[in-house]
Amino acid sequence: MDSQQKNTLDRLLKDDVIDLRQYWRTISRRKWSILGFALVVTLLAAMVVFSMEPVYRATATLLIESKQAKVVSIEEVYGLDGGNNEYYLTQFEILKSRKLSEKVIQRYSLLDHPEFNREPTFDFNWRKIAGDYIPELKPGEPTVEGRYQALVNAFSSRVTVSPVRKTQLVKITFEAYSPEFAAKMANALGEAYIENNLEAKLELTVKASSWLNERLGGLKDKLRESEARLQAFRDSEQIVGDNGGLDIVGNELDLLADKLVDARRDRLELENVYRQVQRAGGKADPSAYERIPAVLQHPLVQSYKSSLSEAERKVSELAKRYGPKHPKMVAAQSDVASAKQALYRQINSVISGIKNQYQVSRDSEVALERSLGNTKGELQELGRKEYRLKELQQEVDVNRQLYDTFFTRLNETAATGDLESANARISDPAVAPLGPAKPKKKLIIALSFVVSTLFGVMMAFLLEALNNTVRSSGDIETKLGMPVLGLLPLLKSSRKNRHPSYNQYLDDSQSGFSESVRTIRTGLMLSSLDNPHKVVAVTSTVPGEGKTSSALSLAFSLGQMEKVLLIDADMRRPSIARQFDCAGRQGLSELVAGTCTESEAVFHSEAHGIDLLPAGQIPPNPLELLSSKRFAAVLAELEKHYDRIVIDTAPCQAVSDALVLAPLVGAVVYVVKSDATPTPQVQSGIKRLREVNAPLVGVILNQVNLKKASKYYGEGYSGYYDVYGYSNG
């Protein structure tokens, strides 16, 4: 991971941490602006508040009862009996209604009252002002109706209705410039509400009586017509009983249904026996019927079978003693034959009875089914008649009930018309307040100061966010991703010495500025110990950042240790020659062109302890001169004669001179003016140098206000050099 990626990662990690000290420093930087703004706003607010006329507030307490003292509830006529919550909310809205306000206004003739006809303290009407120049925009005179509507709006805006929680009390508050008038209007609103409620009830009673009288006559005629239609239907359809005979037919249908079930069950039983008889009927021998359970279980058949068994037993006993022709045997055989004949006759009789019973049961079932179908049809016909009968009966019942209700309500209304009572009363009348309710001068002034201070703080943070300049060494590392070689403190200039930083290092070697230059020199030398940077170029983003003074100071400090040559390569705006009092001499342009020698172009300054190669005559195309092979050859030749060469180049964002020189030098020092150059421009300049692989070694932060940086940026510069005795005093 290279240094730039590491710096970027560190910057992202730091962004996640809230630095409260940074916020405090932001506020401290602009504390006087914030306090000044807050004091001005507070002063203006105080002037406005003390010019306002005091407003008084009077409150009357009204008791609203949900249950009214009445003998009979007439509200049920119109369905007005609702829940308590809805009732109270409705009363609150009535108290705030325009109708109630108009009643009070008309009673006390407030249209011309001084309370509502005061001269405004501040009247800004843009139509009136514009009307002086454009007559079409000038407002016309208000009409009486317009004044009245404006008065109602103004009166309503001064009324406040606030219920007392979990009670039946309501507070009516009125605001006015006069305390007596405020109390008078609060009480007047309560009285107007009570009167309005009584008037509404009386009007409701009158309307109810009139409406009931009109409806009662029509309801009586309607009842008679419905009763006549019911009786005519009964006569025409010959309906008897309450249900039109439907109960009689219903009972008959139930009886037939029960008989049909019994007949069907009997027929099924006989049909089973009959089928057994049919299956056995194909045989000639009657004894085949004996196996049928119905025949076998018949009492007479069982009796004849007992007689036959007895005759056969007797034959069996006689056979043991006599032969077949013995008279007793013959008589016994004759008895057996007679018994069999009697049994078979009885079996045939039972079989005939079974057939007859089956036929009778089948005929009975068919007859019952036919009767049940006829009864169902009759029942359906009676059902339709019953439906129509119920419709007519229900109509009669409804008309009779409605008539009775209206007749009762009419009697109640007539009896209770004079028993109406008020649903509200004033439990605590309003009194004139002793002190004004608003404006709350102390609170408004305090809030003005607090709000304006907060606004000033917000503006300070906004300006801080909009300030994208490089102000400290921390900004260089976090925003630019470059190492800091050092910083140069800000020096005060004067008319006589517009550039004090040019000679500050030599004039006062014990100053903080000189110590800063030596720190930069040490950083530059330590940046490459094994392969020292022999040629060092100094550049900046834009003109005026102090790159020339930085190059001079760096050359002076290096000159105390080595043989140093300072080259003024800013061919467009050279300024070093004037500092060395060698303006007009031949210099770099002539040396590269070959019109002079090195000894003629290079100027040695004993006072400064270094050699200088001025820019010389400004060429028509400086970039072409610096990018030529002759310049590279001249620079290579100069490297042989000097231990260190410092080149003052043009700003890299203004021209491309520094980009051309970058491949020819061993190190590039970038100068940034503190709290002046926008960060995007500096980033763009460094990016351009990196694109040509310039050997950037670090950044010099120039013209740093040490006291301001230490106090507001948290850099800790103040007192650093004082500790070592380098303070300017």
Q: Which residue in this structure is represented by tokens 């004067």?
A: 494
Q: Counting beta carbons within 10 angstroms of the beta carbon of residue 719, is it exposed (0 to 12), middle (13 to 18) or buried (19 or more)?
A: exposed
Report the alpha-carbon angle 76-78-81, nearest 5.
Answer: 45
Closest CA relative to residue 672, chosen from 493, 511, 482, 467: 482
> Given this model, what pLDDT does residue 454 score?
92
**Rounded to an integer, what distance in angstroms lies between the CA atom of residue 427 and that of residue 698?**
86
46 token code pair: 């105080």
> Given this model, what pLDDT does residue 537 score?
92
**Rounded to an integer, what distance in angstroms lies between the CA atom of residue 648 and that of residue 651?**
10
**Rounded to an integer, what distance in angstroms lies between the CA atom of residue 422 and that of residue 310?**
115
Q: Counting beta carbons within 10 angstroms of the beta carbon of residue 101, is it exposed (0 to 12), middle (13 to 18) or buried (19 or more)?
A: buried
Distance, CA of 334 to chain centre: 119
Residues of the chain by 3-state class (helix, strand, coil), percent to 5:
60, 10, 30
| Pairing between β-strand 610-613 and β-strand 564-568 as defined by DSSP bridges | parallel
231 token code pair: 């009786």
Closest CA relative to residue 417, chosen from 70, 79, 66, 82: 70
Cβ atoms of residues 194 and 425 within 8 Å: yes
**Rounded to an integer, what distance in angstroms lies between the CA atom of residue 207 and that of residue 193?**
21
Cβ atoms of residues 176 and 436 within 8 Å: no
> Given this model, what pLDDT does residue 349 score?
66
Cβ atoms of residues 666 and 534 within 8 Å: yes
Domain annotation for the chain: domains and CATH numbers: 26-192+421-442 (no CATH), 246-416 (no CATH), 468-723 (3.40.50.300)
> Given this model, what pLDDT does residue 408 score?
75
Q: Counting beta carbons within 10 angstroms of the beta carbon of residue 82, is it exposed (0 to 12), middle (13 to 18) or buried (19 or more)?
A: exposed
> Given this model, what pLDDT does residue 721 score?
42
Cβ atoms of residues 81 and 449 within 8 Å: no
The answer to whether the bond into 142 is cis (omega within 30° of 0) is: no
- The alpha carbons of the chain give a radius of gyration, in whole angstroms, of 63
> Given this model, what pLDDT does residue 141 score?
67
Return the SS3 of 340: helix
**Rounded to an integer, what distance in angstroms lies between the CA atom of residue 158 and that of residue 147?**
17
Cβ atoms of residues 358 and 274 within 8 Å: yes
The arrangement of strands across the sheet holding 603-605 comes to 484-489, 696-704, 667-673, 535-540, 644-648, 564-568, 610-613, 603-605
**Rounded to an integer, what distance in angstroms lies between the CA atom of residue 673 and that of residue 334?**
161
Closest CA relative to residue 674, chosen from 403, 479, 408, 427: 479
Q: How many residues comprise the chain?
A: 729
Write the CB contacts of 174 (distance below 8 Å, at least 6 apart in sequence): 57, 58, 59, 158, 159, 160, 182, 183, 185, 186, 189, 430
Write the CB contacts of 334 (distance below 8 Å, at least 6 apart in sequence): none
> Given this model, what pLDDT does residue 174 score?
92
**Rounded to an integer, what distance in angstroms lies between the CA atom of residue 298 and that of residue 351?**
11
| Pairing between β-strand 169-176 and β-strand 159-163 as defined by DSSP bridges | antiparallel
> Given this model, what pLDDT does residue 508 score?
79
pLDDT along the chain (729 residues), means of 10: 54 57 76 89 89 88 70 44 70 86 88 79 57 62 81 89 88 90 90 84 71 69 74 66 56 68 69 64 56 62 67 71 73 71 68 70 72 65 64 74 73 57 80 85 89 89 78 79 86 70 77 86 81 88 86 88 89 81 81 87 85 87 88 90 90 86 90 86 89 90 74 46 38
> Given this model, what pLDDT does residue 70 score?
45
Cβ atoms of residues 591 and 616 within 8 Å: yes
**Rounded to an integer, what distance in angstroms lies between the CA atom of residue 118 and that of residue 110?**
13
Phi, psi of 208 (to 5 degrees): -65, -45
Cβ neighbours of 462 (radius 10 Å): 10
**Rounded to an integer, what distance in angstroms lies between the CA atom of residue 671 and that of residue 524?**
13
Cβ atoms of residues 28 and 710 within 8 Å: no
- First and final CA of the chain: distance in angstroms? 46
